[in-house]
Amino acid sequence: MKITFLLHDAYTAGVAVRNTTSLATALAVRHDVEIVSLYRTADRMPFAVAEEVTVRAMVDLRPASPHDTVCTGPTPPSRLGEGRLAAHLRDTDADVVVATQPHLVCFLAEHGRAEHLRIGQEYRAHASHSAPLRRELEAAIARLDAYVSFSRAAARAHRAALPHAPVRLTSIPVCSPVPGAEPSTGNSKVVLAAGRLLPAEGYDRFLDAFAKVVTVHPDWSLRIHGRGGEQQRLRRRVGELGLHDHVLVMGTPAPMGPEWAKGAIAVVSGSGAELSGMSLVEAMSWGLPVVSTDCGNASRELITPGQNGLLVPDHGLFQDTLADALRHLIENEAQRRRMAGTARRTAERFRPELIAAQYEALFTDRASARAAAGNRSSRNAGASARWRRHVRLLVRRLGPAQLAPSPPTVACRVTTDGSLVFALPPRHLGPGAWSLTLRPRDPERAESVQLPVEGDTADGAPYLHVTLDMRICELAEGDWDVLLTRCDGRASRPVRAGLIETAHLLEPAHQLSSWREGIKTWIPYPTPNGTLALRAWHRPAHAEVVTCAVENEALRLTGQLLGWRARAHHYRFQARLRGAPERVFETSCQVDQDGHFTVDVPFSPVAGHHPGREAVWELLLHAYGGGPEIRLGMVTGDLVDHRHLRQFPAAGYAGPDGELLFRPRLTREHNLVLAAETAAAGRPHDRELRP
C-alpha cells in the first residue's frame, strides 16, 4: 500500500509535523510512504523520519532557492504551491492520502481522485474555527472516506456537527515514540510547560499561579517552551510579576524530548482548542507527572487524577487551584516519583507501531467499504508496487555514487559527572584512523583537542562513542567547534548536531561539584547553521548571581560563592566604571558560612559618578588581604546563552544631573553589569540592550 501524508510545512516544528513523522516512520515498515510538504522553509526537518519515507516539497522557500521564493515571512497558501499540489494529486499512484490541516483537508476533498482513499485529520477543535471555515470544512469532510480526531470527545463533537455525513468519523491518538535519550530522573527543581504560545492557551494564567508557588518554594523554576505571538507578552508579564529569577520563556527546541528530561513536573494547557494531547503524552513518555487544565478533551482521557497526574478545573479560582496542585507535587516527592512511573506506563499505549496498526485497520475498513460499493479502482496495484520498489532500489544504489556525502551527524550527552559522550555512526568514516577535533573559536587562548575515534567500523555497531572526560581534560573558557578529522590530516569537516542531552547539568550532584571545585562546565549546542559546538565555562572561583531585585532605590543581589578558592576569603563589593577604572564605588558584602552572599547596591553613589552618557558598571567582589577579585555572573545550568531569556528589572532614579535609568544585564561572557543612562535616552523597558 502506498500512503501519502500532506503537510503545510514539514520543515517547521509543530504537533502535526511531529505526529506525522512518527506515524510515517512506523507505517514505512510495511508500506510505501511519502510526505508531501506544500512548502520547504529549511534544509532539515525538525523531527527525524525513516530513510524509507520519501519527502518532497511543492514550493522551496529557502533563501538559496531563488526560483520558488514567493514570500519571506509566514507561508500562506499560494497559487504556485496549490497548482503544484493539485498536479501531484492528479498524478499520484497513492492508495491513501492523509491531509493533516484544515486547508489541506479542503484541498484534498476538492482535488483528490476517487481512486485513492481520502483521509482527514483534525488537530484543532471544530468549534475553535471561524464560522466560514467550519462551513467549508464540514462540506469537505462529507466528501472524504474518513476523518480522524485525536480524542473520543472530539470525534463525538464531529458526529454531532455532521450527523448525516457519509464519512467515517473516528478517533485515533497521537504517536509517542520511545524516548531516544535518558528520561527525566525527577531530581531537578524545574516545572516545564510546552505548547503554542497563543492567547487561547492561557499561559499567562500559569505565570499567575507560579507566582504563588515561588513564595513558598523559591528554589523551583518554570520554563515555558513554544512559539507564537504571546512570547514577548509573556516575558513582559514575567517582569510585571517579579518572576525574572524564576521563569524563563524559551523558544521551540526540536526535538523537545531532551528538554522534558530536564523537568520534574509538567504543566500543560488542556485548551479546548487543542485536541491532540501531544504535550501530555510526550511529557508522560519522558517520565513526568502532568498537571493539566481539564477542558474535557485529551486531558481527561489521558490523565487519571492521582495516578499519572492531576486535573485542574478550568473555572473558578483557576490560578489558586493550579498553584495548589503544583505545590502538592513539589511537597510530596514520593508521590511525585510514583506518578512519574505510572505516566511512563501510560505513554506506552501510544507507541507509533500501535497507532500505525489502528490506521492500517482504518484503511482496510474504508477500502473494504468502497469495494463493497463497487467503487474500487481496477488498476494493477501489484505491477505498480513492483515498479516502485525497482525505482527506489535503483535510486538508493545510484545515490551514494552521484551525491556528495552528507555531513556526519554526531549526538552528544552530558553524563552525571559533567563529561561528554559523543556518538557518531560509523558509516560516515572511511578507511584510516579518525578523531573528533575540538577547535577553539579563539585560537590564541587554547589549542585544538584531539579525541581518537576507537572501535571497529565494520562490526555492525550503530554508533561509535568518544568520551571527553571531565576528570582528565581541560578546556579553556569559550566556544569550541566539533569537527571530524582524519589523523593523517587529509580531511577535516564540521559535524552536524544530532540529539543533545544536557539534563544532568541541572541535577544536585552537578551543583554540588560546582560548590566544591568552582565552575567547570561543558555545554554542547547546535549553532545557527546546525553544526555541533561546545560552550566551556572554567572558573575555579566564581560568584554566581541567583536573584536580582530592585528595593528601596538599590539593586539587591543574592548568590552563591562557588569553589573552595572563592570561599576561603572575605569580600567587599565594588562597582567599577568601564573605561574609567579609577571611578570605583564600594559597599559591604554579606557572606554566610555556606557561601551565600547578599549585596545592596544603592543607586545614589553610582549616580554621583555618572559620566553624563550611557555608562556600564562592572560588578565584582574584591577580597580583603590580597585575595582574588571575582566578577559576578550567571553561568551555571544548561543554557549556552542567557542574555535573550533573562528579564532583569529596570529602575529610574533622580540623580544630581537629572533622571537616570538603571538596568542590570549580562555581557557576552555572562558577567553581570549595571547599565546607566539618562532617562531621555532610555527606551521602553523591553528594549534589547547592546552586549
- Write the DSSP symbol of residue 369: H
Q: Is the pLDDT of residue 688 over 70?
A: no
Q: Is the pLDDT of residue 659 over 90?
A: no
Mean pLDDT in residue range 553-568: 91
How many CB atoms neighbour CB 317 within 10 A?
Answer: 10
Over residues 503-559, the pLDDT tens digits come to 999 987 766 666 788 899 999 999 988 899 999 999 999 999 999 998 888 999 999
The predicted pLDDT at position 461 comes to 66
Looking at per-residue confidence, does 343 or 46 come out higher?
343
Contact 557, 602 (CB under 8 A): no
Q: Is the pLDDT of residue 398 over 60?
A: no
How many CB atoms neighbour CB 32 within 10 A?
Answer: 21
CB crowding 413-422: b at 16 or more within 10 Å, else e: bbbeebbbeb
Over residues 129-185, the pLDDT tens digits come to 788 888 888 899 999 999 999 888 888 888 888 888 889 999 999 998 999 889 999
Q: Is the pLDDT of residue 258 over 70?
A: yes
Give how far Cα 308 sits from Cα of 140, 272, 348, 453, Å: 38, 21, 13, 42
The predicted pLDDT at position 501 comes to 95
| Integer Rg of the chain from CA | 28
Q: In terms of DSSP bridges, do strands 658-666 and 590-591 run parallel, antiparallel, or are they unpaired?
A: unpaired
The predicted pLDDT at position 400 comes to 37
Greatest mean pLDDT among 42-46, 276-280, 379-383 lies in 42-46
The predicted pLDDT at position 229 comes to 82
Q: Is the pLDDT of residue 187 over 80?
A: yes
Q: Is the pLDDT of residue 275 over 50?
A: yes
The predicted pLDDT at position 428 comes to 67
- 92, with CB counted inside 10 A (0-12, 13-18, 19+), is middle
Distance (Å, whole) CA 616 – CA 671: 12
- 635, with CB counted inside 10 A (0-12, 13-18, 19+), is buried
Contact 376, 367 (CB under 8 A): yes
Percentage of residues in the chain having pLDDT higher than 70: 87
Q: How confident is the model at residue 671 (pLDDT cuts 50, 70, 90)?
A: very high
Q: Is the pLDDT of residue 271 over 70?
A: no
Judged by DSSP in three states, 56 sits in strand
The predicted pLDDT at position 195 comes to 83
- 194, with CB counted inside 10 A (0-12, 13-18, 19+), is buried
Estimate to the nearest angstrom the gap between the alpha carbon of 307 and the chain centroid: 27
Over residues 439-488, the pLDDT tens digits come to 999 988 899 999 998 865 555 567 889 999 999 999 999 999 999 998 87
Q: Mean pLDDT for the chain? A: 85
The predicted pLDDT at position 391 comes to 38
Over residues 57-96, the pLDDT tens digits come to 999 988 876 555 444 444 455 788 889 999 999 999 999 9
Q: Is the pLDDT of residue 381 over 50?
A: no
Distance (Å, whole) CA 364 – CA 372: 12
Distance (Å, whole) CA 343 – CA 350: 12
